[in-house]
Structure 1
Amino acid sequence: MTTGAGDHSIVTRGLTKRFRGGQVAVDDLHLSVPRGSVFGFLGPNGSGKTTTIRMLLGLVTPTGGAWELLGAPMPGGIPAALPRVGALVEGPAFYPYLSGEANLRRYDAADPAADPRTASRRIALALERVGLSAAARKRYRAYSLGMRQRLAIAAALLGPRELLVLDEPTNGLDPQGTREVRALVKEIAADGTTVFVSSHLLAEVEQMCTHLGVMRTGRLVAQGSLAELRELNAGETAVVRVETPDTAEAASVLAGLGLAGVRTGDGEAGAELGAVAPERITAALVAAGVAVRGLAVRRPSLEDVFVGLTGEGFDVDG
């Protein structure tokens, strides 16, 4: 594991947390989060994600192991590192009868590292960054779920941040709110900030993250870039399925193209895709006079990887 401060925003070595009674929430965690990445910290509920985040931010004392934030050894480096880290852990908490802007003023006033002389400018910039400038004076209780989550992210961005830690940022949001937060995370990362996103929603993580770490019952079972994790499916192959009333003829065409595993079913013929391009299969079927009602290619997915690693599926709905 590379641990150079210039390469990683988060590094852990054997990070462990045991609670009273012997319960192990996080077990021997070796994590590396590249600088500039959108790192998805993925796992079922109860897998140790939030406990890990609390340890990283100094909110919970580890039982064992060591960690670094932005190159600073922790916990001694907390005064130097945390002012450069923004965090949203377990949902936002705001005063419902105050406006978004007024709530941010109270957040900023509570930060001993914040300069009160620049508060107005920084609050306006944070609201603009999350797309809430027009709603700055609207009461928080009138905000939609997506707006509330964006305001929480704005609170985490009141100062210059090199690392943004988000714990389940789309939890409980409707599809529109989910899209808003997803787009915001991508924009923040495009500005050079490392974003560490904890989630149990596979679809969300896959759409916005460049790197992933997969947790199961307190242990990290895999980590790497999306491409590296997809390579874990190297032993599997894509499958092509043809919906047609002419199943026998379709199967003959697939076999003639050299596809392996040709089979037929009720209104369907299929085979392993191999190296044959789907468009070549379509052209061959049409040329043979096969009535094609539909053609689909299923490739091994990250969900297949995770099921293989953890023995269970993840929530895939956004």
Structure 2
Amino acid sequence: MSSPAFADHGTVQAVRDPAELAISSAGLTKRFRSGQVAVNAVDLAVPAGSVYGFLGPNGSGKTTTIRLLLGLIGPTSGSHELLGEPMPGGSARVLPRVGALVEGPAFHPYLSGRANLRRLDAADRTVDPATARVRIDAALDRVGLRAAAEKRYRHYSLGMRQRLAIAGALLRPRDLLILDEPTNGLDPQGTREVRTLLGTLAATGTTVVLSTHLLSEVEQICTHVGVMHLGNLVAQGTLSELRARSAARAEVETPTPERAAATLRVLGLSDVSSAGGQVSALLGDVEPEKVVAALVHADVPVRGFAVRRAGLEEMFVQLTGEGFDVSG
């Protein structure tokens, strides 16, 4: 699926050299026995060192894609690589370098937060058991759970459970961190702390993939974005690339809106609308300077003129036809 707001009707690829990608996929597809295509020929390109916002409405295929990437389920067709290793063949080599939180946390309810992390750490055969306590304490500190480390997991709030899951992903240094809705259940302060943590990790070279439906998270911490809708990757690239390719509108403030609207139509602008003393229209390929010149030539008094590109929320609505949660 593609959007009419994008000239080439395709996804934007910021980086194509596989050597520069932490995650790459080609035609990654998952079709369930029911016939439902949950992921349809997805070509991901996640640059190494980026904070990649994997964005889409609930049910768009984000979590299924993540499960495919991590080898939790097998693809119907297509291929992918993590950190330069083909999957699933390279899973033993690459997965110890990958931290993940998928579909929410799941821990033993009657164990403490620390005990749960101790069991999780013990399952990793690639780390030194002698350093377990130091690493567990460091992970708890990073997510602000050191004071609640001895509390039983069943008494944790949803936000605390999310923090513990992130701590589990940080028990050892990671080259790639894949987080599915990591701020779910967090209060505003906790959300800010997680954003700061992810920014710090990215600054040290860790590639972060953040699956979310919150535009505020994307705007504040992401460098790149992939947009999923109905199993399709409908756009991909840097935030600035996607914004630059969104449909631009000319906005004219004038005491004669009917004459201005008629002039814009003659000039070839589309979707012309008028409200009060303001007229708006899609620019298309028409240069803004030509619009102003045409209005002056037609004796239309111009009190104000501006070119506005779609905001992030409007851009994603153009791509998917659905609204997004902009809170958080």
TM-score (norm 1): 0.79
Q: Is 1:303 matched with 2:313?
A: yes
SS at match of 1:111: coil
Q: 1:238 to 1:150 in 2, by over 3 A?
A: farther
Q: Which has the higher contact order (CA 8 A, sep 6+)?
A: 2
The C-alpha deviation readout for 1:91-150, integer Å capped at 9, x for no partner, is 112233433222210111122333212211211221222233333333334444333212
Unaligned runs of 5+ in 2: 1-12, 256-263, 265-271, 281-287, 290-306
Spell out the pairing of 1:35-184 with structure 2 (5 A cutoff).
35-184=48-197
- 8 Å contact from structure 2 (residues 243, 309) kept in 1: no
The C-alpha deviation readout for 1:69-102, integer Å capped at 9, x for no partner, is 0000111010110000000001112233433222
Deviates more, 1:195-204 or 1:28-37: 195-204
Root-mean-square deviation over aligned CA pairs:
2.9
Structure 2 CA distance for aligned equivalents of residues 143 and 188 of structure 1: 25
TM-score (norm 2): 0.76
Structure 1 CA distance for aligned equivalents of residues 235 and 133 of structure 2: 43
The aligned amino acid for 2:319 is: L
The alpha carbon displacement at 1:205 in A equals 2.0
Structure 1 CA distance for aligned equivalents of residues 273 and 132 of structure 2: 67
Q: Is 1:197 matched with 2:210?
A: yes
- 8 Å contact from structure 1 (residues 91, 167) kept in 2: yes
The alpha carbon displacement at 1:152 in A equals 0.9
Q: 1:134 to 1:191 in 2, by over 3 A?
A: farther
Among the aligned pairs, what percent are the same residue? 66
1:279 counterpart residue number: none
Q: Is 1:31 matched with 2:41?
A: no
SS at match of 1:98: coil
Q: Is 1:312 matched with 2:312?
A: no
Q: Report the count of equivalent residues.
A: 281
Q: 1:128 to 1:238 in 2, by over 3 A?
A: farther
1:246 counterpart residue number: none
Structure 2 CA distance for aligned equivalents of residues 18 and 307 of structure 1: 26
Structure 1 CA distance for aligned equivalents of residues 319 and 18 of structure 2: 30
SS at match of 2:92: helix
- 8 Å contact from structure 2 (residues 162, 185) kept in 1: no
2:5 counterpart residue number: none
The alpha carbon displacement at 1:26 in A equals 0.5
1:236 counterpart residue number: 248
Equivalent position to 2:222, from 209, 221, 230 = 209
